[in-house]
Structures are given as C-alpha cells and as structure tokens.
C-alpha cells in the first residue's frame, strides 16, 4: 500500500515516495484542504460547499462537491492508495490519514512535545523539538488558496507557527544562545511589530549580547506603536523587562554556560511559558496573551502550602440513570502528564435536564481519583467576574485572602501555579459562556474539569478538546425509577400504569419528575392517579409542576431568556404547529424565509436545547421536535405575541405548504393531477429545486411526512380551514392506499368530512364521503362503504361536480362487483368513462378499464379482458412509471395468464415488477410476484416459481395483507403438489 504525505504548511502538496502528485483546480484543492484540516472528523457537504464557494454556493453545489471527492479518490487510487482514504460519513466526508503522513499533525505533535519537555526541565530537548517542528514549514500555510474560511484557517496556522517561534526563541535564550538570536528576532519583530512576546525575547537577547541601548530602543519603538495603534500601554511583561534593563537587574543576566533546569531559569528570566497545542487548536490563557506577564514572574502572594479542598455540594440521593453519560465521564479519570492540557468534559442540556445532578453525583463518585481535592463553583446562582471567582478558588486552595493579586491576569497565573503538579477536580457549574470559563481552567494534565452549561461552547471543545456529554430526557424505566426513589412506601409500584403515565406527562424531564414526586411525597393522601389526572390538563400542567422555588416554567425561562428576540419569535411561532416534528422546508414556509435561513434558526434553537433534532429521514431532511413540556411553555409565550394576527397567518401558511407539497407528490406518483378533486385552498410557493429533492421518490416523502400530514389535516379542521383540511386529505389518501395504511386513511377522511360539514362546504363533503367509503371498502366494511359512496354520489351530483361523481362511481363499481352485481358495476364504469375522458384523467380511465377487464375475466372471457387490459396499458404508458401503469401491466398479465398466453403474461408482469420495485412498493411487489410465480409454475419452471413465491410471502407478511397471504399459501400447496413424484404441472384453462 502506498503511503501519501499530505502537506498544508506551505502550498497544498501531496507526495508519494518523494514523487509529487499533481492536484486539480481550485475547488478540488479547497475540498482536500478542508478535509485535511479536519482530519479524522466528518466535514458536512454544506461546510465544504460554503468553503469552496466562499459562502455563496450554487444550487448544484452538492453535485459538484461529490464530483470533486470522486476525483480526489481517483487521484489517490492512481497513486497506489488501497481502500478509500476519503470516507463517506453522513452528512459529508471524512479523510482518514491512518497509514499516511500529514505535516500539520507532525507539527502539532512536536510542539506539544516541546511544551512538555520545557515543563519537565529539559530545555535543550525542547528546543530541538521546536526546531524540527518549524522545519516542516515550506512557506505560508495554505498558500494560494482563497476564501474567507480557508484564510481564517491559514491565520490560525500562522499563529501556531509564531507561537512555536516564540517558544523556540525563549528556550534558546535559556540555553545562552542570545548572540545568534538577535538578528533573527529583529527580523521577526519587523514583520510582527505588535507581537509583545517576540519583542520581549528580542530585548532580552539584545541586552544579554551587550546592546543595552538597542534593547531600550526596541522597547521605546514598541511602546510608541502600542499607543499609536492600540491606544494601550505595553503589557506588564515588557514594562518590567524595560525597568530591569534600566536597572541592570542581575536577574536578567545571561544564564550560566551549563543550562539550569527550566524551572530554575524561569524564576530568574522573564520568559512567558509556551502554551501546549492540540490538534483541535491552541490552548491559550490570559497569562499567554500579549500585554500580560508570564505566570512565573508576576509579583503575587507567596505560595501557600497545598491544601486538599472539598467544595462539592452534598451528593443527590435520588440520582437515577445516566449510565452511558457516567461512563463517558469515567473515561476522563486516566491521568495525563503534567505538561499536557487538563481533561475537560462539557455537560449540556436544557434547564431542568439534570446537568448539575450528574456533575455532582459523578464528582462524589470520582473524588478518590483526585487526592488533592475537588473545587466547585456555581457560576449561575450569583454571576461574578472571573477575577472574583478566582479569588474564591484561590482562598479554597490556601492562598492568603489579604495578599491576593488585584488584577485578574495575576490571579489566573497564581491559580495555575498553585495547581501545578496536583491532581484536582474542578467543577464549573451552570456556566453561561466560554469567556466565563476560560480563566478558570487549570493548565496541567493532572487536573480534570467538568463544566455544565445550557450553551454548546464550541470554543471549549475546539480549543481545549472538551468531551461533550449532552443530556436528554430520561427513558420510561429511569423516569419511573426516579419517582419510586422519592415516593416511598410502594405507592408508585401499586399503580404501575398510572406511574408510567405520570412519567410520560413529566416528559422524562428530571426536574419535572422530582417536583411531581415531591408533591406526592408531601401528600400521602394522594394516589398517583390523582396527580396524573391533574397533569393531564395541558392548560394547567406547568402550574402543577411547581414546588416552592422549583418551577419548571422558571427553568425554561432561563433558556428562553437567552435567545435573541428574532429567535424567540421563531420559537414561539413553531409551537403553533400541532405536528409531532417539522422539517426545515415547512419552517421556511412558516417564517416566509429561505430554507437555509430556517435551518440556521432551527440549529440555533437545537444548540440552545429548546428543540431536538432527528434524522435524516428518507428524503434526507432533518426533523425538529419539541419536548412536550417545552411545547406547552412555548405556546404560553406565543399567547403573549404582540402581533398575534401575523403569527396565526404564519401558522396557516405553513399548514398550506403541506398541501403544496402533497399535491406535487400526488402528481408525480400518479403521472399528473389525476384521480383527485381539488378545492380553492391557497398553495404557497415552494421552490422547484426543493420539490425535486423532497419528491425524488414520492412514497419516501409520504413515509417521512405521514404523521405530520395527519396532524396538519386535524389542526386545519380544528381551526376551521375546511378547504385545506379536505383537499390535503384528498391529496394524501392515495399514498395511504399504496401503503395499506387504512387507519390514517380513515382518520384523514373523517377529519376532512367533519370540517367540510361544519363549514357547509358541499364539494368537500362529497369528496370526503367518497374517500371515506373507499377506505371502509379497503377495510372490508362493504355495507358501510356502499352507504357512504351512494351518499357521496348524491352530494356530488347535486353540486354539479361531474368529474368527482365519475371518480366516485369507479369506487362504487368496485364494491358493487365484490357484492356480486357485475352488471351494475359494468354500467357504473361505462357511465364514468366519458367524464374521465373529458377531464383528461388517464390514470382514472386506465383504472376503470382495469376493473372492466376484471369483470370480463370473471365472466369467462379472457380474450376480451386482454383487449381491455391492453387499452388500459396504452393509456397508462402516457403516465410514465406510475403506480397506475404498474396496475395496468399487472391486470393485463393476469388476463394473459388466464388466456394461457404465458410468455406474454410473464412479460407484462415483469413490466409491473420494474415499476413497483423502483417505488419500493412492497405490497404491489408481492402481488406481482404472485402472478409471476403462477406463470412460471404453469410454464414448468417450479424452482423459479418457488423463489418468487418465497419472496412474495415475506413481503405479504411485512405488509400484513391477510387476503394476499391466503392466496400465496394456496399457491404454495399447489406448488408442493406439482413437485410430488408423478404429478403433472397445472395448466391454465
């Protein structure tokens, strides 16, 4: 296997055995660069597109990205790479550098080693590691690549190079190599005149080389620049070095020829320590920032003797569950060398989800692993400036309170110095931002930090490698266990069903469960059913979930109050939709904005833990949902919307958007606007490209959207939007039929019918009566079906709905034929055909001819059935590869089978199989396989028939079609009899 050497530290370069691999154009190079920068992590297609097209990707961006990736894969294969170095990993791609080399990884590894060696008192070895790291650079990082995202990455990489240069220079100064450094540092200062750390090293090198005046001039120039450019005095480190040069302080004299350990040198030489660098980015601290003095040189209180503080709150006796999350935290217990960064965990989730409970419980459990103590700070109850918090921490660590440094930077330095070499746990509870947390992070690997926050704090993850521990609601078992822990005496065990109901009403939210349990515990005369019944009322549920100062509503307000005003408005309006979940395209309709903007809002609400995300669904869309208690809270806030009419108009627009897409899905599935009657409900515009993405396979869209469609019809009916309710139901029931989903079919029609009758909409009433009759026919309720279809006929004809009456007649013909009146059925179908032809409805015409063919076949005239079947197929061909075309081919195949024309029958059935297979229509495929099994059995090909029959039985069991299963089992018996010794294969009469 060939090994590739990837290069980012200069012009993007690939080499294989010293042979350079030529890369393609700018897009290909940008894609590869971003994959390398995120090596080992998935990069979404969206991020790749944003990067390649600098924030303005074209509609074809996804396709072009996949082409770029394919070209890169081909390039690597041609270079001799086995397997896929670029792996497809939803929602994008991941570059696996295992077995290959990447200069960035080597650079970060070497600089990390250098930092650790420097901290361990090995300056010569540390300087050599920096030298080897810097030798990897071939020029400006990502040289030649443009675009904001890549330019930002290049800036970060350049900062790492400069940090390494500074660290290398400081180590060489400690080794007495000031003479060789002066010219080198002077050039670097000219290139980066505001970089105080570099200027500090240059001043020291000049002074130690005997050029005291040059050192003072270097300071004067830097002072003037800082004042002119930044309006600031130079930092304390430069000012103190300036004073030391003026006084010729012996502490800054050149070190002895034999280098002392770094720790000893650092106490005498004003050199800022180098922060360790990880693959995720730099770990910085205020002590490393320009203008701040290094930790080992600040005048501060004398070091206090090490103490073992124990600031943890009491453990939580009712803590339940969180096994997986606890295991993630347990993985942090492995020790790291002191020169490594600390282990950090970030526990996130919505208010009331149990972040503090998990952090406190785990901290008590893990305390034995931290012999030097545990610190705990509640950053949310009484927010304070970091300097004030540091004061509390320093006092806990034994620093004299009356001798603490006044400024925050010096307190950070002292805090980290007191933690050096110690194994200590720091819990930062209820943090609101990375800026609040950053000064409180230790700098040594012996410590561990647990941060809890409602924010995702990406900087903590990227810059400090924090392990994210997201918390969701408790499952039913853990929820009921939590209730049982608090409500003693077996009261919950005595009513298991009601306890499960109570847990569900509390939404598995630990805070709500604890409040509910406390109410029961303090009211021994209540049983579980009583509280569950009180919570069942949505209008008072949040009021019930209160106990003293613990209020679910108040906890949600903490998260809601942090939202920007426009995002809070989005959140409130989302709650107005009574759907189980929602895709971004429907939210775009709600907000009347582009889908990309809606996705951004949804992601921000998800980051705030106010929504949950799942998916992608079968169409590739992510879906967003409320927890039930959060939905109730959001609806309460929606009642306060100052512009209620606009909010309600937005809600209605979103509901109508489901009609737009459902109607388009029906057209694509049926080859046109066939076999359905529409009303006057408005259809908001939905972008054609979006429709193409959603409806590439209409049945997949229906499967993904089914529950929302039922909910949208139900809500529309409740709101009095009758035209929308029945039209959306009519556009959807065809998919319910394909999927044999009679429960939803019936509910859609009943909701649409009730809304139509309430509004006096006779057209909608007639259409819904007919569709409901068809649903009952499909369920085998023929008596009720006939009544409804006949009632629908009267309503439609009275309203002059000729086309709708013709469609209804075709439905009525099916049930009449099944009841044994073939003549009446034939008359209904012949009567309907002229209106269907006038409407140009090819699908309904083909369906009517199919039914006439079946009636003719039942009457013993297979040749006439074949003629009618061919006529139906001719019409269906004009529809494309639709279900109607599949049904026409299937009916023709059955007629040909009955006529004994086996090769033609197999050909027709194979045509039907191709269509239903492409549509993933399991029930349709089972029927086609039944026909093929019969044709092949009669043709003497028992083994092929057996294979078809086996596959058909599996599909029929999947779909639960009892009628089809009966027919298949009869054919299985026939097949076994035909295989018996001496048996003759059956032939069709």
Instruction: Yes or no: say if 486 and 512 are a contact pair by the CB < 8 Å rule.
Output: no
| Pairwise CA distance, residues 343 & 712, whole Å | 48
pLDDT category of residue 652 using cuts at 50, 70 and 90:
very high
Return the half-sphere exposure (C-beta side, CA atoms, 13 A cut-off) of residue 566.
Answer: 8
Instruction: Yes or no: say if 681 and 723 are a contact pair by the CB < 8 Å rule.
Output: yes
| Pairwise CA distance, residues 740 & 749, whole Å | 15
233-247, 369-383, 443-457 — which is least confidently predicted? 369-383
Q: Does the N-terminal peptide bond of residue 891 adopt cis geometry, omega within 30 degrees of 0?
A: no
178-192, 199-213, 219-233, 883-897 — which is least confidently predicted? 219-233
DSSP line for 56-86? ---TTHHHHHHHHHHHHHHHHHHTT--S-SE
CA angle 457, 463, 465 (to 5 degrees): 85
Instruction: Yes or no: say if 912 and 891 are a contact pair by the CB < 8 Å rule.
Output: no
* Residue (of 283, 329, 375, 316) closest to 470 by Cα position: 329
Instruction: Yes or no: say if 649 and 664 are a contact pair by the CB < 8 Å rule.
Output: no
Which H, E and C letters describe 918-970, residue by residue? HCCCHHHHHHHHHHHHHHHHHCCCHHHHHHHHHHHHHHHHHHCCHHHHHHHHH
What is the predicted pLDDT for the residue at 577?
Answer: 95
Exposed/middle/buried for residue 887 (C-beta within 10 Å: 0-12, 13-18, 19+): buried
pLDDT category of residue 55 using cuts at 50, 70 and 90:
confident
Instruction: Yes or no: say if 482 and 318 are a contact pair by the CB < 8 Å rule.
Output: yes
Q: How distant, in Å, are the alpha carbons of 370, 417, 468, 557 from that of 351? A: 29, 35, 17, 9
Q: What is the mean pLDDT of residues 688-708?
A: 92
pLDDT category of residue 402 using cuts at 50, 70 and 90:
low
And the tokens for 622?
Answer: 């992510």
Mean pLDDT value across the chain:
84
Which residues pair with residue 425 across a beta bridge? 374, 448
> Is residue 231 scored above 80 in pLDDT?
no
DSSP line for 672-691? SS-S----S-------HHHH
What is the predicted pLDDT for the residue at 656?
Answer: 97
pLDDT category of residue 301 using cuts at 50, 70 and 90:
very low
> Is residue 57 scored above 50 in pLDDT?
yes
What is the predicted pLDDT for the residue at 881?
Answer: 77
Q: What is the mean pLDDT of residues 303-332?
A: 77
Each residue's pLDDT tens digit, 662-671: 999 999 988 8
For 125, phi then psi, to 5°, come to -65, -40
Return the half-sphere exposure (C-beta side, CA atoms, 13 A cut-off) of residue 225.
Answer: 15
* Residue (of 706, 611, 613, 622) closest to 658 by Cα position: 706
* Residue (of 697, 712, 709, 736) closest to 619 by Cα position: 697
Residue ranges of E strands in 314-399: 343-348, 374-378
| Pairwise CA distance, residues 469 & 348, whole Å | 6
* Length of the chain (residues): 989
**What letter does residue 455 receive in the DSSP assignment?**
S
And the tokens for 466?
Answer: 């924090």
| Pairwise CA distance, residues 244 & 25, whole Å | 55
Q: Cα 719 to the chain's mean position, in Å? A: 32
Q: What is the mean pLDDT of residues 843-864?
A: 92
Q: Decide: helix, strand or coil at residue 770.
A: helix
Each residue's pLDDT tens digit, 65-88: 988 888 898 888 888 887 778 888
Q: Decide: helix, strand or coil at residue 124.
A: helix
Residues 6+ apart with CB under 8 A from 942: 936, 975, 978, 979, 985
| Pairwise CA distance, residues 539 & 636, whole Å | 9
Alpha helices in 487-627 (DSSP H): 496-505, 510-521, 528-536, 541-544, 552-561, 565-574, 584-591, 595-607
Residue where the block lists tokens 């090995």: 122
| Pairwise CA distance, residues 49 & 147, whole Å | 12
And the tokens for 875?
Answer: 């019409």
| Pairwise CA distance, residues 752 & 730, whole Å | 9
What is the predicted pLDDT for the residue at 387?
Answer: 81
State the CB neighbour count (10 A cutoff) for residue 841: 23
Residue where the block lists tokens 């229509």: 921
What is the predicted pLDDT for the residue at 271?
Answer: 30
Q: What is the mean pLDDT of residues 189-203?
A: 90
Out of 258-272, 443-457, 485-499, give the one with best mean pLDDT.
Answer: 443-457
Q: Decide: helix, strand or coil at residue 101.
A: strand
**What letter does residue 54 receive in the DSSP assignment?**
T
> Is residue 261 scored above 50 in pLDDT?
no
Q: Decide: helix, strand or coil at residue 546.
A: strand
What is the predicted pLDDT for the residue at 338?
Answer: 66
Each residue's pLDDT tens digit, 624-646: 998 888 888 888 888 888 788 89
* Residue (of 67, 177, 157, 44) closest to 111 by Cα position: 157
And the tokens for 973?
Answer: 């018996």
Q: What is the mean pLDDT of residues 667-684?
A: 91
Burial 198-226 (b: 16+ CB within 10 A, else e): bbbbbbbbbbbbebeebbbebbeebbeeb
What is the predicted pLDDT for the residue at 986?
Answer: 52
| Pairwise CA distance, residues 392 & 439, whole Å | 13
pLDDT category of residue 790 using cuts at 50, 70 and 90:
very high
213-217, 407-411, 752-756 — which is least confidently predicted? 407-411
DSSP line for 600-631? HHHHHHHHTTSSEEE---TTS--EEE--HHHH
107-116, 286-295, 308-317 — which is least confidently predicted? 286-295
And the tokens for 620?
Answer: 């590739």
And the tokens for 554?
Answer: 């108040």
Instruction: Yes or no: say if 441 and 344 are a contact pair by the CB < 8 Å rule.
Output: yes
Q: Decide: helix, strand or coil at residue 574.
A: helix
pLDDT category of residue 276 using cuts at 50, 70 and 90:
very low
Out of 441-445, 497-501, 731-735, 911-915, give the one with best mean pLDDT.
Answer: 731-735
> Is residue 360 scored above 50 in pLDDT?
yes
Share of the chain above pLDDT 90, in %: 34
Q: What is the mean pLDDT of residues 177-186?
A: 88
| Pairwise CA distance, residues 326 & 659, whole Å | 46
Residue where the block lists tokens 């675009």: 147
| Pairwise CA distance, residues 970 & 71, whole Å | 54
Instruction: Yes or no: say if 6 and 36 are a contact pair by the CB < 8 Å rule.
Output: yes
Residue where the block lists tokens 């009669």: 938
State the CB neighbour count (10 A cutoff) for residue 83: 10
> Is residue 304 scored above 50 in pLDDT?
no
| Pairwise CA distance, residues 572 & 576, whole Å | 7
Which residues pair with residue 470 across a beta bridge? 348
What is the predicted pLDDT for the residue at 819?
Answer: 87
State the CB neighbour count (10 A cutoff) for residue 327: 9
> Is residue 163 scored above 50 in pLDDT?
yes
What is the predicted pLDDT for the residue at 287?
Answer: 32
Q: Decide: helix, strand or coil at residue 109.
A: helix
Reported pTM: 0.60
pLDDT category of residue 256 using cuts at 50, 70 and 90:
low
Instruction: Yes or no: say if 475 and 373 are a contact pair by the CB < 8 Å rule.
Output: no
> Is residue 274 scored above 60 in pLDDT?
no
What is the predicted pLDDT for the residue at 543?
Answer: 77
* Residue (of 259, 244, 370) closest to 309 by Cα position: 370
What is the predicted pLDDT for the residue at 382?
Answer: 54
Instruction: Yes or no: say if 383 and 346 are a contact pair by the CB < 8 Å rule.
Output: no
**What letter does residue 339 receive in the DSSP assignment?**
T
Residues 6+ apart with CB under 8 A from 106: 133, 136
């Amino acid at each position: 296997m060939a090994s590739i050497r990837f290069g980012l530290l200069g012009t993007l370069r690939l080499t294989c055995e010293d042979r350079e691999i030529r890369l393609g154009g700018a897009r290909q190079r940008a894609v590869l660069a971003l994959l390398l920068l995120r090596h080992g992590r998935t990069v979404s297609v969206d991020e790749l597109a944003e990067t390649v097209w600098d924030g303005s990707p074209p509609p074809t961006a996804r396709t072009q990205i996949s082409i770029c990736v394919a070209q890169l894969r081909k390039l690597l294969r041609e270079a001799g790479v086995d397997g896929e170095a670029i792996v497809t990993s939803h929602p994008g791609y991941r570059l696996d550098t295992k077995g290959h080399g990447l200069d960035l990884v080597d650079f970060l590894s070497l600089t990390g080693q250098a930092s650790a060696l420097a901290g361990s008192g090995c300056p010569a070895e540390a300087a050599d590691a920096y030298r080897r790291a810097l030798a990897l650079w071939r020029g400006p990082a990502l040289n030649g690549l443009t675009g904001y995202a890549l330019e930002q990455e290049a800036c970060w990489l350049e900062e790492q190079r400069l940090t390494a240069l500074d660290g290398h220079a400081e180590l060489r100064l400690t080794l007495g190599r000031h003479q060789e450094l002066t010219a080198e540092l002077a050039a670097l200062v000219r290139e980066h005149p505001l970089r105080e750390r570099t200027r500090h090293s240059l001043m020291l090198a000049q002074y130690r080389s005997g050029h005291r005046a040059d050192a003072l001039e270097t300071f004067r120039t830097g002072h003037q620049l800082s004042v002119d450019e930044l309006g600031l005095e130079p930092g304390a480190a430069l000012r103190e070095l300036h004073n030391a040069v003026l006084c010729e302080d012996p502490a800054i004299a050149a070190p002895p020829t034999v280098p002392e350990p770094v720790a000893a040198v650092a106490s005498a030489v004003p050199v800022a320590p180098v922060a360790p660098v990880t693959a995720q980015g730099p770990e910085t601290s205020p002590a490393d920032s320009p203008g701040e003095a290094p930790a080992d040189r600040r005048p501060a209180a004398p070091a206090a003797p090490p103490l073992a503080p124990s600031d943890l709150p009491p453990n939580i006796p009712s803590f339940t569950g969180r096994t997986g999350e606890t295991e993630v935290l347990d993985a942090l217990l492995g020790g790291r060398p002191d020169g490594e960064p600390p282990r950090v965990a970030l526990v996130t989730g919505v208010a009331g989800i149990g972040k503090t409970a998990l952090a406190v419980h785990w901290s008590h459990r893990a305390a034995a692993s931290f012999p030097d103590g545990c610190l705990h700070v509640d950053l949310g109850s009484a927010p304070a400036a970091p300097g004030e918090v540091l004061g509390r921490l320093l006092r806990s660590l034994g620093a004299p309170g009356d001798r603490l440094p006044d400024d925050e930077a010096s307190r950070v330095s002292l805090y980290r110095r007191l933690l050096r070499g110690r194994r200590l746990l720091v819990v930062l509870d209820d943090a609101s931002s990375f800026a609040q947390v950053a000064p409180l992070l230790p700098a040594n690997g012996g410590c561990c930090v647990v941060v809890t926050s409602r924010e995702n704090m990406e900087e903590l993850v990227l810059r400090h490698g924090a392990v994210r521990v997201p918390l969701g609601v408790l499952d039913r078992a853990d929820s009921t266990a939590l209730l049982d822990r608090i409500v003693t005496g077996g009261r919950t065990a005595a009513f298991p069903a009601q306890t499960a109901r109570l847990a569900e009403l509390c939404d598995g939210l630990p805070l709500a469960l604890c409040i509910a349990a406390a109410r029961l515990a303090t009211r021994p005369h209540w049983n579980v059913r009583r509280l569950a019944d009180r919570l069942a009322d949505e209008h008072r549920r949040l009021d019930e979930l209160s106990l003293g100062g613990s209020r679910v509503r108040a906890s949600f307000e903490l998260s809601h109050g942090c939202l920007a005003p426009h995002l809070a408005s989005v959140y409130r309006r989302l709650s107005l939709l009574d759907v189980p979940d929602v895709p971004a395209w429907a939210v775009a309709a709600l907000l009347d904005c582009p889908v990309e903007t809606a996705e951004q809002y949804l992601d921000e609400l998800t980051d705030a833990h106010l929504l949950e995300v799942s998916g992608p669904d079968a169409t590739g869309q992510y879906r967003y949902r409320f927890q039930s208690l959060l939905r109730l809270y959001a609806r309460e806030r929606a009642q306060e919307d100052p512009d209620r009419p606009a909010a309600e108009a937005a809600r209605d627009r979103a509901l109508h958007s489901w009609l737009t897409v459902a109607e388009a899905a029906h057209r694509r599935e049926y080859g046109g606007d066939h076999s359905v009657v529409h009303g006057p409900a408005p259809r908001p515009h939905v972008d054609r490209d979006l429709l193409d993405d959603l409806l590439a396979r209409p049945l997949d869209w229906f499967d993904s959207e089914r529950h929302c469609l039922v909910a949208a019809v139900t809500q529309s009916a409740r709101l009095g939007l009758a035209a929308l309710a029945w039209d959306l139901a009519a556009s959807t029931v065809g998919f319910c039929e394909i999927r044999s989903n009679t429960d939803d079919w019936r509910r859609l029609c009943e909701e649409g019918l009730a809304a139509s009758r309430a509004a006096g909409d006779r057209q909608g009433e007639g259409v819904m009566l007919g569709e409901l009759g068809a649903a009952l026919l499909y369920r085998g309720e023929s008596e009720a079906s006939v009544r409804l279809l006949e009632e629908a006929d009267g309503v439609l004809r009275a309203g002059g709905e000729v086309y709708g009456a013709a469609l209804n007649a075709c439905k009525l013909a099916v049930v009449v034929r099944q009841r044994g009146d073939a003549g009446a059925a034939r008359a209904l179908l012949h009567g309907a055909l002229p209106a269907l032809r006038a409407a140009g409805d090819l699908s309904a015409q083909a369906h009517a001819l199919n039914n006439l063919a079946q009636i003719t076949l039942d009457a013993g005239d297979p040749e006439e059935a074949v003629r009618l079947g061919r006529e139906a197929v001719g019409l269906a061909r004009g529809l494309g590869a639709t279900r109607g075309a599949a049904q026409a081919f299937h009916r023709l195949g059955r007629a040909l089978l009955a006529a004994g024309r086996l090769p033609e029958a197999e050909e027709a059935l194979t045509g039907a199989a191709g269509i239903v297979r492409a549509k993933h229509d399991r029930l349709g495929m089972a029927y086609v396989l039944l026909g093929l099994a019969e044709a092949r059995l009669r043709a003497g090909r028992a083994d092929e028939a057996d294979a078809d029959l086996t596959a058909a039985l599996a599909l029929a069991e999947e779909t639960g079609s009892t009628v089809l299963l009966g027919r298949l089992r009869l054919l299985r018996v026939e097949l076994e009899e035909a295989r018996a010794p001496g048996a003759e294969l059956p032939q069709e009469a």
